[in-house]
Structure 1
């Protein structure tokens, strides 16, 4: 029998087994982290595992001179002495510092040493549950000695009667020759091997006990970006891995905070705005990055992955998005998530075109959602040519709403002969380069966008019949980018100038 570890679980299996035997459903295109047993040089880290009766969390203590209390020392009472919605304190124990005697500001996850009645012989190890300002009888700088980098949900569950059962400094493995990533599922298992199959990210502001909606928009961007379950490591450096596969997206700065190992951010400025970053090491706060989450499992995979590799990712919570669903499916999904749904109709075949609240955290906090629906006959299906016109298709998605949602909107301009024209709000600065221009003739139902070679750049059109001279927007072929097909042309007949059509992308 072979004994190994898979995602933290110790497993035994028969001799001769390989990765495919224990991961039969794993996507062979996604990398696994393999840490082989061998001669590994141990190195003490600045991370401490703090175990409690409600679970464990990992604290980063940057200053090597800081000494944490020992739960086995008779001078330290490891029980939870007090707690409220903002903080929890363990102790007391004797310490030596000068209390500042005035309030300090603390962020969620801060760890500090304070004291009761400004008596350092009655000091406490305090963890901050929420951002707050208070006088904890701490030293200069608020007495902050470190930060929780994993397991923040544990501190939310602490209650009367809980206690610290262990504090240990974590040891890192330093022999990278025994640590690899692989997509080869035929790789034989070895005694003592450690396998990490995925990373897990917990969104900031979310825990099963409490939800903070302060950065709900940024969190929704994270959940949307990784909803495929794949993290694309398009660029890796010594400090981060970056996934920018969705291209440019407008994201606003909602939470500026230190970017520590395992932190997840979204870039808010520049050409890579919207890209997701996961950090391998600590870096300074940036005005161009909003912090949106924390890796809670699989940091080893992030440390090892290289440019061009991809790995499986699980985000908590799962995104809550009903747009594009039939009402009956939306009702079933909302019920499965414990959410009460209120609709503007009882017809099960109507399609959801909007929801309120619009973000996942807001819905989960309120435990209810209202939806607006539309008759299925009024929603027009389209198919887009990502392979033939990727740049123009990306522009089309960004300015119709299809980039982020399953339902988009397209303002109707006017029609003549067999041409129907639409005018999405695309800024003039957007350069629509010629791409997938027609050759020979334009088939019926072709969806096109006028490119920058013509004055009407950004105009969208569709033809009801084949044409060998002009494109879908009635421009010459060289001015027409073919981006897809519109499937339900008969639904256009009822349109009036100034109407907006709802479009749904389908794969055919």
Structure 2
């Protein structure tokens, strides 16, 4: 049987299942399966899928006539890579009825252009714009843009000598689910001609091999954080989008409130859902509450058919560049692999990275170098946090220490008295710390706690080195104490000094 797996043709034996196709797959993640069929009303469709020897891509055409033209067998058979440069790649030649004008036009990355060589329509080409540029492609008045690539923009960069477009077909629309299935069943039987889409791939806003734009660097960094485990959790699903809310609420800057077209990835920047990541399956108008962080390059069908509760595999290009928490030798290896020069504050020694400049991935890649701040291992204390017993307090603690964003967080040590160590992370006055997981009989040694709203010292974090049956780790009564976790590196507390910054690493 022939299966289309993520834009590539794969042959499998009769009777094969999804597990035979996706060896080693994480079956918590759902995949989309589209059964082959002949679509009714196909002439009305404006989206087509191109299968190429470099990978699959989807084009949203500007009108149905263009789609019908590209679906003609005599055209498909002539779509071989004829020429390419850093700006564009052209497939053909074939005959068309365009009327070229001798004028240059402005093109954006992902534009699909119908042009011709030598201003001769009998030598027409389908041209893919790789980057923004101005050129005369022998196009008709208006520039000849017949569509745009909405999925698979990375394929445009991979086109090379010998590549060709091997198949052109219409895309199944989100409103027609009769032949589309979302499953994470390894035993699902395969059929000849099925399409299997296993993952989403996102090109982040501002990144390309040719240039890096850091306009949206901070909001892009948040997106890379949200998907760094390779998963997109579909917490909400509607007719126009799916969204992942697992890091809500998080403050994200509104850097790029642009149009939300199909395949656009945004982050909500205000309201109760701030920090939600959205992937749009249909175009909607711009919103000042959303900042654009990327564009789906592969797998939009997976987003179209996914429902609430599905977990989708997701890849982002580029991957996040975050050295915080790594040993210096590990940081050097990562920087070298990414082609980045590493500057350390202290030469030699067994030290741990606790900060980096620039802070965001795009800024580091644009600069080509990164400076890191390091500390000796004895200054980094391992802790555990109890999400189940104190979910709200733990969430606040991760936010104010930086553990929500990096492998190591920090907080100032303000007071040491006999068996008590008190820390004061900066917490906004508007943040409420309700009583949660308060002790009753006694507090064991080395328990980590936070003072709740019932006491004047709200937000104080403390640890006590001995058992107490009267006061919590922040020296407050039990009713004012929220137990949030435990210190593991207990021996390191003795080396701490008042007024110093203490670094913590969460062990899960």
Q: Tell me if the contact between 2:53 and 2:166 (Cα under 8 Å) persists in the aligned partners.
A: no
Shift of 1:288: 1.2
- The residue aligned with 2:17 is 18
Mean Cα deviation higher: 383-392 or 341-350: 341-350
What is the TM-score of this pair, normalised by structure 2? 0.83
Shift of 1:461: 0.8
1:39-74 CA-partner distances (Å, limit 9, x unpaired): 65463422356799988754423445779998989x
- The residue aligned with 1:252 is 253
- The residue aligned with 2:468 is 467
Q: Number of residues paired by the alignment?
A: 499
3-state secondary structure, aligned to 1:470: coil
Q: Tell me if the contact between 1:42 and 1:172 (Cα under 8 Å) persists in the aligned partners.
A: no
CA-atom RMSD in angstroms? 4.0
- The residue aligned with 2:26 is 27
Shift of 1:109: 4.0
What is the TM-score of this pair, normalised by structure 1? 0.83
3-state secondary structure, aligned to 1:259: coil
Structure 2 residue 191 is matched with structure 1 residue 172: no
1:180-228 CA-partner distances (Å, limit 9, x unpaired): 1122222233333332222222212223344333322222111110011
Matches within 5 A, 1:53-452: 58-64=58-64, 108-109=109-110, 146-153=147-154, 170-172=170-172, 175-347=176-348, 349-452=350-453
Structure 1's 299 and 158: CA in aligned 2 closer, same or farther, altered over 3 A? closer
Matches within 5 A, 1:31-42: 31-37=30-36, 40-41=39-40
Q: Tell me if the contact between 1:153 and 1:207 (Cα under 8 Å) persists in the aligned partners.
A: no
Shift of 1:143: 8.2
3-state secondary structure, aligned to 2:412: strand
3-state secondary structure, aligned to 1:485: strand
User: Whole-Å Cα distance in 2 between the matches of residues 133 and 197 of structure 1?
Assistant: 36
Q: Tell me if the contact between 1:449 and 1:482 (Cα under 8 Å) persists in the aligned partners.
A: yes
User: Whole-Å Cα distance in 1 between the matches of residues 48 and 193 of structure 2?
Assistant: 24
Q: Tell me if the contact between 2:109 and 2:132 (Cα under 8 Å) persists in the aligned partners.
A: yes
Shift of 1:337: 2.5
Shift of 1:330: 1.4
Listed as ranges, the gaps of 5+ residues in structure 2 are none
Q: Tell me if the contact between 1:88 and 1:127 (Cα under 8 Å) persists in the aligned partners.
A: yes
1:9-45 CA-partner distances (Å, limit 9, x unpaired): 3333334432223333222222122223456546342
Q: Tell me if the contact between 1:52 and 1:162 (Cα under 8 Å) persists in the aligned partners.
A: no
Q: Tell me if the contact between 2:99 and 2:139 (Cα under 8 Å) persists in the aligned partners.
A: no
